[in-house]
């Protein structure tokens, strides 16, 4: 079975670097996949992608080696299993608040007896190899998003769920859930306290921790803290930042 580059990074004892794809388009996905990321995640939650976009984006990425991932729109077994059958190597599931919710999520990603995933990896076999069924459970990564105070309160149970590979912090929602302002790269002390608690709980339970970042500076800080995966925003925000910077730097003189 084709290896998972994020897991290879962890085997090398380094943090993995991921990026989100917020907009549909196979060419954009192909270009981003070519840049050397450990993971590339199609965002079906807040991005403007759906399943009909996901498949061609995965196909265009497959000539390169980042782990193809998806952030599903919700903890729904139907879209989780369908995305896995399309060939994703990791699933990021939003708003996991309890151990029971986490068990339902992980179960949808694992074949029996570890879970209840239905057998039928139609495209995954072509991407990953004919031995997919034998190795999928140990290759596909499960990320439970920690985004609320309720989730922080239930960290010990969530992080102990068998088959969960990692937690993934959404700093903006986490801030909002405790009365703060939305936005990435949170540094408010009450948010940072919860980020540190989540990181510690993950490592105490022998799993990994990832976090969504808006800048390389913040990502580097999180790696220094000990995070195992950092997401460097999305192609949409990279495009905006680059275009705005070029526009601001262009000196236009009156005609």
* Catalytic positions, written as ranges: 46
What is the token pair recorded at 145? 């998003």
- CB 83 within 8 Å of CB 91: yes
Q: What is the CA radius of gyration of the chain?
A: 18
Structure tokens at 166: 């990692």
163 C-beta neighbours (distance < 10 Å), count: 17
Largest CA distance in the chain: 72
Angle, alpha carbons 61-65-70 (nearest 5°): 55
C-alpha 206/C-alpha 190 separation (Å) is 25
């Amino acid at each position: 079975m084709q290896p998972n580059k994020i897991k290879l990074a962890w085997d090398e004892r380094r943090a993995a670097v991921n990026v989100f794809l917020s907009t549909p388009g196979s060419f954009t996905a192909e270009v981003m996949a070519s840049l050397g990321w450990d993971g590339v995640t199609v965002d079906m939650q807040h991005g403007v992608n759906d399943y009909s976009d996901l498949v061609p984006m995965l196909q265009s990425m497959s000539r390169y080696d980042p782990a193809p991932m998806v952030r599903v729109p919700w903890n729904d077994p139907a879209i989780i299993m369908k995305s896995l059958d399309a060939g994703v190597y990791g699933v990021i599931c939003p708003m996991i608040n309890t151990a029971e919710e986490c068990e339902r999520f992980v179960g949808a990603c694992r074949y029996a007896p570890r879970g209840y995933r239905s057998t039928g990896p139609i495209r995954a076999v072509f991407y990953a190899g004919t031995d997919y069924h034998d190795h999928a459970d140990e290759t596909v990564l499960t990320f439970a998003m920690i985004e609320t105070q309720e989730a922080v309160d239930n960290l010990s149970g969530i992080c102990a769920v068998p088959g969960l590979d990692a937690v993934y912090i959404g700093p903006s929602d986490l801030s909002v859930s405790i009365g703060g302002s939305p936005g990435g790269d949170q540094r408010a002390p009450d948010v940072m306290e919860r980020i540190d608690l989540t990181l510690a709980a993950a490592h105490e339970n022998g799993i990994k921790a990832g976090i969504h970042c808006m800048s390389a500076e913040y990502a580097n800080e999180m790696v220094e803290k000990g995070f195992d995966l950092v997401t460097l925003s999305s192609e949409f925000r990279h495009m905006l930042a680059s275009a705005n910077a070029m526009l601001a730097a262009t000196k236009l003189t009156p005609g």
